[in-house]
């Protein structure tokens, strides 16, 4: 997922482009990471579960992802039209 997430993945060149006017490109890289983009937070939450504290390397990985890819992930979830599923479960 981290390799696919980048700025302006659909080459829209216009921040604020209306999502209902976005056409999915023929070669849609987001299709390959749709499940991961939408459900990674749920899986993270489930992996921590009842443990007293998450593992340090898990926290570091999440911190790195948030610092480097969070905005791109939000863009991806929006382009996938999965904002409700991807951000709240």
Cα 29 to Cα 50: distance, rounded to the nearest angstrom:
35
Q: Give 64-87 pLDDT, tens digit per residue.
A: 999 999 999 999 999 999 987 766
pLDDT of amino acid 87: 67
Q: Give 25-54 pLDDT, tens digit per residue.
A: 998 999 999 999 999 888 888 887 666 666
75 occurs within a structural domain: yes
52 occurs within a structural domain: yes
pLDDT of amino acid 33: 94
CA distances from 65 to 10, 14, 60, 78 (A): 21, 24, 9, 18
Q: Give 5-22 pLDDT, tens digit per residue.
A: 999 999 998 878 888 888
27 occurs within a structural domain: yes
pLDDT of amino acid 52: 65
Q: Which domain holds residue 39?
A: 19-87
Supply 78's token pair: 């929006």
């Amino acid at each position: 997922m981290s390799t696919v997430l980048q700025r302006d993945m659909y080459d829209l060149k216009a921040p604020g482009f209306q999502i209902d006017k976005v056409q999915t490109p023929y070669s849609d890289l987001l299709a390959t990471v749709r499940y991961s983009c939408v459900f990674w937070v749920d899986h993270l939450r489930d992996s921590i579960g009842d443990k007293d504290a998450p593992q340090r390397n898990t926290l570091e990985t999440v911190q790195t992802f948030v610092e480097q890819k969070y905005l791109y992930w939000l863009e991806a979830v929006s382009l996938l039209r999965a904002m409700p599923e991807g951000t709240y479960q």
